[in-house]
Structure 1
Amino acid sequence: MTVDGELLRARREHEGLSRAVLGGLVARSEDWVKKVERGERTVRSLAMIVRLARVLGCRDVAELTRAEVSVPIVDGGRVSHPGVAALRSAVHAPLFAAAGTPEDVGELAGRVRQAWDVWHRARDQRTAVATVLPGLIAAGHATVRAAEGAEKRRAAVILSETYALAQQYAAHIVEPELYWVIVDRARMAAEQADDPVALASAAWIMGNGLRVAGHTEEALRMVADAADTLRPQLEGGSDRLRGTFGSLCLHAAVTAAQDGRDGDAWRWHGEADRTAANLGAAYAHPWTMFGTGNVTVHAVTIGADLRTPGIAMQQLADTDPAAIPSLERRSRLFLDAAKAEHIRREKASALQYLRLAYETSPEAARYVPSGRALAADLARTATGALSYTARQLADDIGIAA
């Protein structure tokens, strides 16, 4: 699926937008728009196609692609969370004020690991970590300031991991400015730590932000470069290093899939699969959850993002959801299955999987835009007996059907 230049130009002119204005709205240049319209540049990224369609007021990406496959543009709406205000205050607190008390680095590391564990094991993960995140951020900064030498660098690693958790919490529910401050703080702490694995982990975090913003090329380059940095150290490397490498491979795989690069997507996924196998079935990265179970989740994601629903559902058939330790990741598995079935216009099955996603983790379904958009579209288009079920599910997720 690619953007049709003639359709893009016609739609842009219909909306009364100049190339410069349209480019600005999707964070691209006037020349970029010009080349797309003239067929000199191909846009395969579904995220960017959706972004263009939304900016231009399209109801479906087919209005820009001539594709037979329907991808409705339904904005489920961003919803916030009660804990955002406290997080915002913690992030914007004066860095040199006595807002936090220094802690033993080992004890602080244990508290951050526990918070990550809660994130993955709670059905309502945002609510579960919202009460501890502000304090962890304050304590993290205070501990870094008070520590010296190797302990200071270790504390900086812990602070970066704290901001990584804050990013997961903040995704889709805060204003972009706050989100990017959090992402940049994670990067800055990793640089202060002078730790190659921490820096690679920060690339994973930065890549998340770039991908969500539609900058798939930049996101892929960032995580691929980080993976290439770690690759020479894989043999004999620590589980932390290899788990981070595998996490970067999965990130690259999904990013490539969203950009329509099927060969690259499955190549990166294959490398992640081999890494997970070498780590063993019992291994799971403490915060990305990289491991054999997470590799299977991403196979379904890749199939759905490449708009090959048959492959996605085949991957799902080979997956044991109970083997996925993270409820947030398990919910994502069911959400991607719902998206795949929606592509095939199997609305009853899509509803079933979306209900499973919600029941596995209500907040994972409620706060993810694709989950809200899918619920809204099913509530709008389902007919007959399915209509009531779809409206009820949309209401549960928080969509006005």
Structure 2
Amino acid sequence: MSFDGTPDPFADPLAFGQRMQILRERRGMSRPLVAGLLGKSPSWVKQIETGKLQVPKLPTLLRIAEILRVRDLADLAGDQSAPVDLFIGPGHRRLPAVRDAIDAYPLAAEREAPPAAHLQARIARAWAARHQAPNHRDVIGALLPDLIRDAQLAARQADTAAARRTAQAALAEVYSLTQFFVAYQPDSSLLWRVAERGMVAAQESEDPHAIALAAWLTVQAHRDSGRSHFEAADAVNLQTLRFLEPLLPDADDDLLAAAGALKFEAGYTAARRGDSGAAWGYWDKARVMAKRLPETYYHPATSFSRAIMGAHAVTIAVELRAGGESVRQAAAADSTVIPSRPRRARHRIEEARGYQLDGQPDTALATLDKAHEAAPETIRYNGYARRIILEETEARHPERRRRACDLAVKVGLLAA
């Protein structure tokens, strides 16, 4: 039994249907809602849950897991011998070194911290490398250990209040960069340590931009942790926006973009909750803020800009599971204007989700190929891309199955 008295869906010997029903009810989702999202009838869902129908095949199983936000397929299927985490990618080879730098707690400094200007220049180069490299995790993973140690050292050695605030802002930005690397890797506790340290450093800096950026990443961490964290995501988001509101009339481009990114994140969370009105309302508010930015401006951390709003519209439509609208928004968005390789790949993955929702699996696979071309490490760590590829490896159409298997090999889901 679970802490609230309901059966534990992860305990044996519960049947698949019982697990599905418990997980569905815990997420407050009705049978008609789940049936509609699956393209099935409510009676089909009932027959699955009551055991009158057999466990569905892998494509449908993966769709159920996505709808119920089940992170490990084994938790739904009940087979713990072969866990498949749908939303966590493989551990990167540079993860241990980054983890060691985060976990280190030196009490004495044996060297002098680098000057603030030097540290900031390295941070700027690291953001640029992240956007330009197809293997961006590898590049950032190589830079982060020294950046983390030097930023921590600078914060400890700062000898005036002004220097301390500057150093804390730099440290918060390094933690933000670190969170991009750690996300979707098999160490969720490390992700939360980074997010929390980033928020503390940002608050110590008293820098509105640092606070906005740390909040933006914390919102994502909460939202990606599941429906039970949506309220926490909204609380962090809206509190930060209230803090920023008086500053926006005279804000520089970076602060304006960070606030715009937060408005979009509020829409993103609303879309995942299924609230179409709030989702598109926040997207429109973010679009208004994007129009205040120069046409060529691109925020180095959030990617917020005029260029990104089309991609954001695709994400809202996909999260609302509106296949036709997703395809319409994808047709209207221009991916070529997104200067960041990983963000362009992420947009292609969102487009692929839309095409699959709209019943166009061949176009979805072709779009995932484009995502892989833009940034292989992005698609390798994206749970939605992995689900689509795995689903199509069992397609009845031989050519589609072959293309999916070829992509699965490139992404690392299947052995060559």
- Tell me the TM-score normalised to structure 1 length: 0.84
Output the amino acid matched with 2:69: V
> What is the aligned partner in structure 1 of residue 305 from structure 2?
291
> What is the aligned partner in structure 1 of residue 127 from structure 2?
116
Output the amino acid matched with 2:216: W
> What is the aligned partner in structure 2 of residue 51 from structure 1?
70
State yes or no: 1:81 paired with 2:95: no
> What is the aligned partner in structure 1 of residue 245 from structure 2?
231
Output the amino acid matched with 1:191: Q
Relative to structure 1, the CA distance from residue 76 to residue 264 in structure 2 (aligned partners, 3 Å threshold; closer, same or farther) is closer
Q: Shift of residue 54 of structure 1?
A: 4.7
Output the amino acid matched with 1:121: Q
Output the amino acid matched with 2:185: I
> What is the aligned partner in structure 2 of residue 154 from structure 1?
166
State yes or no: 1:106 paired with 2:117: yes
State yes or no: 1:320 paired with 2:345: no
Q: Shift of residue 190 of structure 1?
A: 0.7
State yes or no: 1:338 paired with 2:338: no
Output the amino acid matched with 2:186: V
Q: Contact 2:169/2:201 (CA < 8 Å) preserved in 1?
A: yes
**Aligned-partner Cα distance in 2 for 1:85–1:52:** 23
Q: Shift of residue 97 of structure 1?
A: 3.9
**Aligned-partner Cα distance in 1 for 2:10–2:29:** 12
> What is the aligned partner in structure 2 of residue 358 from structure 1?
372
Q: Contact 1:293/1:324 (CA < 8 Å) preserved in 2?
A: yes
Q: Contact 2:88/2:382 (CA < 8 Å) preserved in 1?
A: no
> What is the aligned partner in structure 1 of residue 265 from structure 2?
251
> What is the aligned partner in structure 2 of residue 3 from structure 1?
none
Identity of aligned residues (%): 28
Q: Shift of residue 387 of structure 1?
A: 1.4
Give unmatched runs, 5+ long, in structure 2: 1-5, 38-64, 79-83
Q: Shift of residue 101 of structure 1?
A: 4.2
Relative to structure 1, the CA distance from residue 100 to residue 320 in structure 2 (aligned partners, 3 Å threshold; closer, same or farther) is farther
State yes or no: 1:208 paired with 2:220: yes
**Aligned-partner Cα distance in 2 for 1:52–1:366:** 16
**Aligned-partner Cα distance in 2 for 1:358–1:315:** 21
> Greater CA deviation, 136-145 or 379-388?
379-388
Larger RCO (alpha carbons 8 Å, 6+ apart): 1
Output the amino acid matched with 1:94: Y
State yes or no: 1:177 paired with 2:189: yes
Number of residues of Structure 1 aligned to a counterpart in Structure 2:
368
Q: Shift of residue 308 of structure 1?
A: 0.7
Relative to structure 1, the CA distance from residue 134 to residue 382 in structure 2 (aligned partners, 3 Å threshold; closer, same or farther) is farther
Counterpart selection for 2:149 from 114, 131, 138: 138
Relative to structure 1, the CA distance from residue 14 to residue 104 in structure 2 (aligned partners, 3 Å threshold; closer, same or farther) is closer
**Aligned-partner Cα distance in 1 for 2:125–2:97:** 20
Q: Shift of residue 16 of structure 1?
A: 5.6
Per-residue CA distance 1:55-106 (angstroms, 9 max, x = gap): 75259xxxxxxxxxxxxx9837631111101001100111424377401111
Counterpart selection for 1:192 from 190, 199, 204: 204
Q: Shift of residue 252 of structure 1?
A: 1.3
**Aligned-partner Cα distance in 2 for 1:367–1:38:** 31
The aligned runs of 1:21-36 (5 Å cut-off) are 33=26, 36=28
Q: Shift of residue 375 of structure 1?
A: 1.4
Q: Shift of residue 257 of structure 1?
A: 0.9
Output the amino acid matched with 2:400: L
Relative to structure 1, the CA distance from residue 274 to residue 37 in structure 2 (aligned partners, 3 Å threshold; closer, same or farther) is closer
Give unmatched runs, 5+ long, in structure 1: 1-8, 27-31, 60-72
> Greater CA deviation, 265-274 or 76-85?
76-85
Q: Contact 2:87/2:184 (CA < 8 Å) preserved in 1?
A: no
State yes or no: 1:167 paired with 2:179: yes
> What is the aligned partner in structure 2 of residue 69 from structure 1?
none
Counterpart selection for 2:140 from 119, 129, 143: 129
Counterpart selection for 1:281 from 270, 295, 315: 295
Relative to structure 1, the CA distance from residue 306 to residue 74 in structure 2 (aligned partners, 3 Å threshold; closer, same or farther) is farther
Relative to structure 1, the CA distance from residue 319 to residue 151 in structure 2 (aligned partners, 3 Å threshold; closer, same or farther) is same
**Aligned-partner Cα distance in 1 for 2:403–2:179:** 33
Q: Look up the SS of the partner of 2:393 in the other structure.
A: helix
Q: Contact 1:190/1:202 (CA < 8 Å) preserved in 2?
A: yes
Output the amino acid matched with 1:258: R
Q: Contact 1:77/1:372 (CA < 8 Å) preserved in 2?
A: no
> What is the aligned partner in structure 1 of residue 45 from structure 2?
none
Q: Shift of residue 220 of structure 1?
A: 2.1
Per-residue CA distance 1:254-281 (angstroms, 9 max, x = gap): 1111111111111111111011101121
**Aligned-partner Cα distance in 1 for 2:147–2:187:** 21
Q: Contact 2:209/2:258 (CA < 8 Å) preserved in 1?
A: yes
Per-residue CA distance 1:152-207 (angstroms, 9 max, x = gap): 10111111010101000111113111111111111111121122332222111211
**Aligned-partner Cα distance in 1 for 2:203–2:256:** 20
Q: Look up the SS of the partner of 2:307 in the other structure.
A: helix
Q: Contact 2:244/2:259 (CA < 8 Å) preserved in 1?
A: yes
